[in-house]
Structure 1
Amino acid sequence: MSRAVCPGSFDPVTHGHLDIVNRSAALFDYVVVAVGTNMSKNALFTPDERVEMLNEACAELDGVTVTTFSGLLVDFCAQVEADAIVKGLRFVSDFDYELQMAQMNSQLSGVDTLFLPTAAQWSYVSSSLVREVALLGGDVDQFLPEGIAERTIARAHERAGRAAPGEQKE
């Protein structure tokens, strides 16, 4: 049985992330979506909240599970007996960074990394950019699944001290 790990922060999970997970699920028997727990000070959601959102977004995908991990990705891959790491690439600059990580991971553990180009329609979308747009009051609905968009907008309004859409600030 072939197994792959799709690691990331997923803060929040975008349509681009889900494109990579869906395509990975078509290539491997079993896919573990691994949410990193190294908290960024700019994170909108806790790792557990991200797992919950990913579980909702991936509910219809056979052979896909979602969990958190901390520490070295290669140690996590060994723990779940993964054959490969799958990473989405948006731009050449992503490749420069990801290639170094892939080579280090291979040297440390022998696990290979498979790079999938992000679908062109999502190539400019990143979680950090979506967070920034949401925090500045912009519309992020087109970049995120519906329920995740609602949660992201509500959390961004909460962080910015604004009432969420449809609510009144006290």
Structure 2
Amino acid sequence: MSTIAVVPGSFDPVTLGHLDVVARSARIFDEVHVLVVHNPGKTAFIPLEERVALVERSVAELDLGEHVVVTSWSEGLLVDYCVNVGARVLVKGIRSQVDVAYETPMAIMNRSLAGVETVFLLPDPAHALVSSSLVRQVASLGGDVTPYVPGAVAEYLRREEDTR
């Protein structure tokens, strides 16, 4: 039996920390779905379709093979997607105690709702302090985000800044 894992996120934008979690998940699980989701608690900086395209380009550069799928989901609960594709595991990157406090109730609820377990991966120290919101802030103020994001994202953010 193959194990399917889902790595969900708003990826607004995708960072090198996100990609580190995807790459490590691909080494652990037979199939990995990178799921770009809409977070109802946030206003998106990058439109969903653009985020999916940026994640696809960034994951393709990692050359992880065909067992990594990039898609989006906005039709209900995250665990509904998991049930639809036969995934039994969610993988979440955890940078700090704040992330643990935020993710723990959701992990318990997802297990209760659908029997989907959550695995927390600690960050590579090089990416431990990087968040999408911090990248957005630095980019919006004209700072260099290339050390924190894949090339496709840095290029996208530069183009967007040039049009403003």
TM-score, normalised with respect to structure 1: 0.89
Q: Distance in 2 between matches of 1:157 and 1:126?
A: 23
For each residue in 1:54-76, what CA deviation from the matched residue of structure 2 results, as whole angstroms up to 9, or x when unmatched? 11111111210100011211111
Amino acid at match of 1:25: A
1:141 to 142, 146, 151: 146
- CA shift, 1:37, in A, is 2.9
Q: List alignment gaps of at least 5 residues for structure 2.
A: none
Aligned with 1:58: secondary structure? helix
Aligned residue for 2:135?
Answer: 130
Aligned residue for 2:22?
Answer: 21
Q: Distance in 2 between matches of 1:38 and 1:8?
A: 8
For each residue in 1:100-145, what CA deviation from the matched residue of structure 2 results, as whole angstroms up to 9, or x when unmatched? 1100110111100000001111010000110011011111111011
Q: Distance in 2 between matches of 1:24 and 1:38?
A: 22
Q: Does the 8 Å contact 1:16/1:119 carry over to 2?
A: yes
4+ runs deviating over 4 angstroms: none
Q: Which has the higher contact order (CA 8 A, sep 6+)?
A: 2
Identity percentage over the alignment? Answer: 48
Q: Distance in 2 between matches of 1:104 and 1:10?
A: 22
- CA shift, 1:157, in A, is 4.1
Q: Distance in 2 between matches of 1:12 and 1:156?
A: 14
1:61 to 64, 82, 87: 64
Aligned with 2:119: secondary structure? strand
Q: Given the alignment of the two structures, is residue 48 of structure 1 paired with residue 52 of structure 2, yes or no?
A: no
Q: List alignment gaps of at least 5 residues for structure 1.
A: 162-170
Q: Does the 8 Å contact 2:36/2:52 carry over to 1?
A: yes
Q: Does the 8 Å contact 1:131/1:156 carry over to 2?
A: no
Q: Distance in 2 between matches of 1:95 and 1:31?
A: 22
RMSD: 1.2
TM-score, normalised with respect to structure 2: 0.92
- CA shift, 1:147, in A, is 1.9
In our comparison, the structure showing a higher alpha carbon Rg is 1
Q: Distance in 2 between matches of 1:104 and 1:58?
A: 29
Aligned with 1:66: secondary structure? strand
Q: Aligned residue pairs: how many?
A: 158
Q: How does 1:2-17 map to 2 (within 5 A)?
A: 2-17=3-18
Aligned residue for 2:35?
Answer: 34
